[in-house]
């Protein structure tokens, strides 16, 4: 039997985007990459990599809650950095969001991110069974 698939559009998501905010397959949630923008705006927050990492993780936390999960149920994250020199600073902020049993993670540097973001993070998490 194939697991059920649900396409989730987040609160305040702009209509017509060519992707879903999240997709639930069985009890797993696959979030699209999040950047450090204040919800409802397009560009990243001011304050460099520290502020952008914090806002990115807050956006992930919000989307996970909306989709029926939480940061403590995250099992895999992928971090994309516009500059690998930001790794230590990003990592310091990231660690505060996953203080115990952090998810598996990959971090890569890329040649650029949407809207001038310094960081983008994807997340896979276990959803609560009663969604």
SS3 72: helix
Identify the structural domains of the chain with CATH numbers, from first to last. 5-126 (3.30.1330.40)
pLDDT attached to residue 14:
66
Range with lowest mean pLDDT among 38-42, 78-82, 121-125: 38-42
Q: What is the spatial distance between Cα 29 and Cα 12, in angstroms, rounded to a whole number?
A: 19
CA dihedral 41, 126, 105, 99 (to 10 degrees): 90
Nearest one of 7, 6, 33 to 20, comparing CA atoms: 7
**Tens digit of each residue's pLDDT (9 = 90 or more) over 51-68:** 999 999 999 999 999 999
Helix, strand, coil share (%) of the chain residues, nearest 5 = 30, 30, 40
**Tens digit of each residue's pLDDT (9 = 90 or more) over 62-96:** 999 999 999 999 999 999 999 999 999 999 999 99
pTM here is 0.92
Whether residue 38 has pLDDT greater than 50: yes
Whether residue 131 has pLDDT greater than 70: no
């Amino acid at each position: 039997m194939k697991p059920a698939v649900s396409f989730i559009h987040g609160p305040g998501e702009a209509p017509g985007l060519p992707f879903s905010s999240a997709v639930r397959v069985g009890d797993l949630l696959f979030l699209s990459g999040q950047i450090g923008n204040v919800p409802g705006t397009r560009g990243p927050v001011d304050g460099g990599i520290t502020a952008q990492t914090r806002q990115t993780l807050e956006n992930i936390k919000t989307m996970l809650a909306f989709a029926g999960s939480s940061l403590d149920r995250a099992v895999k994250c992928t971090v994309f950095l516009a500059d690998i020199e930001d790794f230590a600073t990003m990592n310091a902020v990231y660690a505060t969001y996953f203080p115990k049993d952090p998810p598996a993670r990959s971090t890569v540097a890329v040649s650029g991110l949407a809207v001038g973001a310094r960081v983008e993070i994807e997340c896979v998490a276990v959803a609560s069974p009663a969604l």
